Amino acid sequence: MTRIKPLLAALALLSGYAAAPLSNGQSVPSPTADARLQNAKDAVQTLQTWYDPTTGLYKTTGWWNSANAMTVLIDFSRVSKSTNYNEVFTNTFITAQKTNPGFLNNFYDDEGWWALAWIDAYDLTRNKDYLSMSESIFADMAAAWDDTCGGGIWWSKDRHYKNAIANELFLSVAAHLANRTSGATRRKYLAWGNEEWKWLHASGMINTTGLINDGLSQSAPGNATSGCTNNGRTTWTYNQGVILGGLTQLAAADHDPDLNQTAENIARSAIAQLADANGILHDPCEPKCGADGVQFKGIFIRNLVLLDKARHDKLYESFIEKNADMLWEDARGPDFQLAEGWSGPFDFANAASQTSALDALVGAAAIQLNGKGSGF
């Protein structure tokens, strides 16, 4: 619908939106930094309606999803300069361990999510207990490394499957810890990060289109000498995302710009192949991704923000902002609930869909509020 510029200017003042020019000289509303932050604030308040203080977790979603909810809450607190949720972090740190002591369970990827959440909490609060917890979790993950398929960690303690997400998280946690420790401890984490990347890069999980498939197939499972090949399974958005944050952190620790370039190649492949014609990100399981897949897209966006912090790129910034704006307009329901599919229409929401969408909202706010490319 065509609108005259004076009307647009008036609407911008009333709604917190600024008029953004189009190539044809007309303008459409584009959210201001304050408007984007307010959107994120409203959505965070809705997310917290699912928080259960008695468990330290989120109703309507699972254990690993709650780690991601903690992460987006921490990221929002950093961007908004808020201390309102510090007590939530403390409560979850103590109370959630009643479910799984030490944030350990049967799945190494679950452990990786919690390790990254507590590293993020440490960055925000400087509480060393959070960093120590991340180190303890990493030690348990490291015990999963063996010679099957030439290296890498297992997905679970049943040791039946080596996949991308567990190994990407292992890489990311190692690199994050290397950048937050010193001396021999730092060297240990850096060595793990480099060893993981060397193995992952050679594993075949990165396919010929530049995307990462789900994991490896073994011709004789359990046999360390059996052939391990890319299983060709789904190129989930989160598998393209976690590697971006891991490589960005490893590049910073190792002073290796080639790692950032590899991350850029994966990011561009993902944007080109996993977004629709309107530039909106999707997983192929939509609109019914279940308890896990509903979380994936936000993880990609969160890590794309981290890559953009290291390699300022208008492509990434416009992609993040467009997804945030589209989901706010088309996937928002009552009381600022946010749906699984970011193109809309709104159908339902839970803590996982809310968290995933919030990764985009908080990321867009971070880019605009802190300056292009500054990220979190």
Determine contact, residues 189/175, Cβ cutoff 8 Å.
yes
Angular region, 231: left φ>0, alpha ψ -120 to 50, beta rest: alpha
Q: Is 302 exposed, middle or buried (0-12, 13-18, 19+ CB in 10 A)?
A: buried
Angular region, 66: left φ>0, alpha ψ -120 to 50, beta rest: alpha
* Domain membership flag for residue 376: no
Residue 18 has pLDDT above 80, yes or no: no
* Domain membership flag for residue 15: no
Question: Which parts of the chain are beta strand (E)?
Answer: 17-21, 27-31, 51-52, 57-58, 216-218, 228-230
pLDDT band at 327 (very low <50, low <70, confident <90, very high): very high
- Report pLDDT digits (tens) over 88-141: 999 999 999 999 999 999 999 999 999 999 999 999 999 999 999 999 999 999
CA distance 353 to 216: 28
Check residues 226 and 170 and name the one with the higher pLDDT: 170
List the structure tokens of 112.
């990786």
Around 346, how many Cα atoms within 13 Å sit in the side-chain half-sphere?
17
Query: What mean pLDDT comes out for the span 352-357?
Result: 98
Query: What mean pLDDT comes out for the span 356-360?
Result: 98
pTM, 2 dp: 0.91
How far, rounded to the nearest angstrom, does the alpha carbon of residue 260 sit from its chain's CA centroid?
Answer: 17
* Domain membership flag for residue 198: yes
pLDDT band at 218 (very low <50, low <70, confident <90, very high): confident
* Domain membership flag for residue 25: no
Instruction: List, in order, residues 6 or more apart from 183 with CB less than 8 Å away.
Output: none
Determine contact, residues 334/30, Cβ cutoff 8 Å.
no
State the CB neighbour count (10 A cutoff) for residue 162. 27
* Domain membership flag for residue 5: no
* Domain membership flag for residue 17: no
Query: What mean pLDDT comes out for the span 273-298?
Result: 97
* Domain membership flag for residue 123: yes
Query: How many domains does the chain contain in total?
Result: 1
Q: The CATH number of the domain where 175 resides is what?
A: 1.50.10.20
* Domain membership flag for residue 65: yes
- Report pLDDT digits (tens) over 273-284: 999 999 999 999
Task: Output the CA torsion 185→256→315→297 (10° steps).
Answer: -40
Output b/e per residue, 89-113; b: 16+ Cβ within 10 A: bbbbbeebeeeeeebbbebbbbbbb
Question: 93 is in which domain, residue-wise?
Answer: 32-370
CA distance 40 to 59: 20
Of the listed ranges 29-43, 94-108, 179-193, 226-240, the least confidently predicted one is 29-43
DSSP 150: G
